[in-house]
Amino acid sequence: MHDDRKLAVLRAIVEDYVATEEPVGSKALVERHGLGVSPATVRNDMAVLEEEGFITQPHTSAGRIPTDKGYRLFVDRLTNLKPMSSAERRAIATILDGAVDLDDVVQRSVRLLSQLTRQVAVVQYPTLSRSTVRHVELVAITPSRLLVILILSTGRVEQRLVELDATLDDAELGELRSRLNVAAAGKVIGEAATALRDAVPEGDAGPMSAIVDTLVDAFSDHRSDERIAVGGAANLARFGESFDTAVRPLLEALEEHVVLLKLLGEAHTGGAVTVRIGAEGPYQELASTSVVATGYGPGDDALATLGIVGPTRMDYPGSMAAVRAVARYVSRILDQA
């Protein structure tokens, strides 16, 4: 459908229905949106839109509401996302700048997204396998006991204690630290593990070997790869009329993190915001649900995904802008970590 006027009518129907949850009539469209044509012309356009499957009439003599196909066209033809207000931008900076570690960043992001969009917010913890090693630090607790600190590009910090069979002085400790960082720093987890093993001389059972074994064990800890944070479930209470078709299945899905991760989809680089509407998603029982998501991570690396989930009747421009803004800010924080 390429008729600009019909597209304007569809856009007006979507905006009004999202705002009021009431079927939209031709007279109301003309009065509220200044379409520059008569109600009769708008009715003709609405008839064509209905015939083509972009809108539907839920009840006889009622106005029209968008279909999933109508929402899809509306989203695809968005030329500009709704700009964030200065108050919203300040809120993002104020809430996220105070984060003290990765867990805090994730929890604050979930709370912020749910407040900005009034939807359910979902934030995946950065995936370990996509992370790179930023630094390995060794701290002597005693001459024969070390604290090994692994700092990743996500801001994640892993700490392990290592008991050594021999003692180390400061010079030996500094030499070990240097060898570890030369081998691992800047490499993704899989490459770093291989490089560290290669850095241990064959048959060596000394401190270097014990520390590398500890680091490789930390690399293989994938418990966080399917960790997510969820917030804003209470926002679903405002979707009363669509409870059985959209809200109830979504509330049940919130208990299943694997389902939510599949809903979010893969993390995409380049700041692209993806929108999956209704039956476009992976679960038929959530066919009345839409997802707005994007990847986040330091630099151009998308290490995980964040987004919002809610009934298809949502403010797509505002939700897309909020998801993109929060992801960019979180990415900036991780880049500076």
246 in the same domain as 307: yes
Please give the pLDDT value at position 243. Answer: 60
238 in the same domain as 165: no
238 in the same domain as 212: no
99 in the same domain as 55: no
Q: What is the Cα–Cα distance from 304 to 299, expressed in whole angstroms?
A: 13
155 in the same domain as 177: yes
236 in the same domain as 106: yes
60 in the same domain as 191: no
Residues in the chain, overall count: 337
Name which of 14-18, 221-225, 260-264, 308-312 the model is least confident about.
Answer: 221-225
136 in the same domain as 111: no
Domain that holds residue 32: 4-76
What is the CATH classification number for the domain harbouring 11?
1.10.10.10
- Residue 182 forms part of a structural domain: yes
Please give the pLDDT value at position 79. Answer: 74
| Integer CA distances (angstroms), 240 to 49, 156, 252, 308, 328, in order | 27, 40, 16, 19, 33
What is the CATH classification number for the domain harbouring 96?
3.30.450.40
pLDDT digits (tens, 9 = 90+) for 112-139: 999 999 999 999 988 777 778 989 999 9
Question: Domain boundary at 171, 198, 223, which?
Answer: 223
Residue among 178, 153, 174, 150 at smallest CA distance from 162: 150
Question: Domain boundary at 35, 56, 76, which?
Answer: 76
Number of separate domains in the chain = 3
206 in the same domain as 143: yes
DSSP state of 188: B
pLDDT digits (tens, 9 = 90+) for 292-317: 999 998 777 777 899 999 989 999 99
180 in the same domain as 31: no
202 in the same domain as 172: yes
pLDDT digits (tens, 9 = 90+) for 44-57: 999 999 999 999 99
Instruction: Give the model's confidence band at 1: pLDDT under 50 very low, under 70 low, under 90 confident, else very high.
Output: very low
- Residue 81 forms part of a structural domain: no
246 in the same domain as 199: no
- Residue 139 forms part of a structural domain: yes
Please give the pLDDT value at position 284. Answer: 87
